[in-house]
Chain A
Amino acid sequence: EVQLVESGGALVKPGTSLRLSCQASGFTFNEAWMTWVRQAPGKGPEWVARISLHRDGGATDYAAPVKGRFTISRDDSKSTLYLQMNSLQTEDTAVYYCTTYLRGYLESWGHGTLVTVSP
């Protein structure tokens, strides 16, 4: 059974940094493209970032609102996905989900971790 467990969410002030982690199990992590998706309170999901396989160069892509501030990375030896978030803004407040990714669809989702950015 695929399991994705996010951690690292917290209440932080604007301008600070936070790193999210996603521990994966139940599938071959190093053969899976992965993404981060966020969902602000009362809003729909918003794609945040994507990372390809290590053997494909670990290419990354980002949504416009986070480009230059967020960095997605992976450690295949630990089956763990990361999201480094810098210069956090109040608009970044959301539940952050780790998901598998294939041809544009997100099959498996974690339960999410809440990030609250507030003065």
Chain B
Amino acid sequence: QSALTQPPSASGSPGQSVTISCTGTSSDIGGYNYVSWYQQHPGKVPKLIIYEVTKRPSGVPDRFSGSKSGNTASLTVSGLQAEDEADYYCSSYAGRSVVFGGGTKLAVL
């Protein structure tokens, strides 16, 4: 069982917006503004797309955005594109460790 809880799947049509939630506790998500999100296509290495809750690394489209409220973080993908179909994992600093969610498979219908 993963430390952070994500829905196993999400879906949307091209052009739509989808939000993926990630629920933790006050010891991880709720205690720090150090939530990150990773995108992983099949057979590929995870790629950082959001860090410190809302920041995007250089090169990541602004269609990807992050937020947090209490012990729950969210990733929103706006203007869905076919290439956004992938697995998405949330992660949080937890003091002397890092915890991950179980992942959400995003389907672009």
Instruction: Point out residues on A near B: beta carbons under 8 Å.
Output: 35, 39, 44-47, 50, 61, 63, 97, 101, 103-107, 109-112
Contact = CB atoms under 8 A, between A and B. Distances in A.
Nearest to A97: B45
Which of A46, A104, A111 gathers the greatest number of chain B CB atoms within 10 Å? A104
Contact of A105 (B51, B87, B97): B51
A112 B38 contact: no
A104 B34 contact: yes
Nearest to B98: A47
B64 interface: no
A109 B91 CA distance: 15
A63 B2 contact: no
Give the secondary structure class of B's interface.
Answer: strand
A111 B48 contact: no
A109 B100 contact: no
A45 B46 contact: yes
B43 to A, nearest CB: 11
Contact of B34 (A39, A97, A103, A110): A103
B24 interface: no
Interface string B90-101: 011110111111
Contact of A109 (B45, B87, B103): B45
Contacts of B34: 103-105
